[in-house]
Amino acid sequence: MRLWGKVWIVGLFLLLGLTPAVLAAQKAFLWDGSHWSQVSFDGKAGYVFGMGNMADFEAAAGGGKSPCVSRAFADELKTKTVDQIIAAVDQFYKENPDKMQTTVIEVILRRCTTVCPPETKSGGKK
């Protein structure tokens, strides 16, 4: 198994192992800044690894027609380290405390890929 495959599997186990039982009883939701700010670095890394693992699976299972998000994770984010992705998300929420409701996936796609253009200060696209 390739190194990245092992890394994604370990990340998925971290994500699953770090999720508190309380969250398991709640309805599913997308993480936003309030959730992101409450977890440790390991929890954040588990989230990023889990998203990457899902994207790799979806891209492999899609027969070459993977959705936009999966392509972004599988193609563009493989050039970045987990530390860089976490730092970009942390920086976004630090610079934009009024946008804590923005989902982590949106922040990653806008800050770390070319799939979704970043917002300007006025709220429009660059």
Note the pLDDT tens digit of each residue in 26-39.
666 788 999 999 99
* CB neighbourhood size of 45 (10 A): 20
pTM of the model: 0.66
Q: Which of 71, 16, 2 is nearest to 49 (CA)?
A: 16
Q: Which of 52, 51, 48, 47 is nearest to 18 (CA)?
A: 47
* CB neighbourhood size of 125 (10 A): 9
Say what the pLDDT of residue 89 is.
93
Q: Give the separation between CA 126 and CA 120, rounded to whole angstroms.
A: 6
Residues 73-122: pLDDT tens digits?
A: 777 777 888 999 999 999 999 999 999 999 998 888 888 877 666 665 55
Say what the pLDDT of residue 76 is.
75
Residues 40-83: pLDDT tens digits?
A: 999 999 998 888 888 777 777 765 555 666 777 777 777 888 99
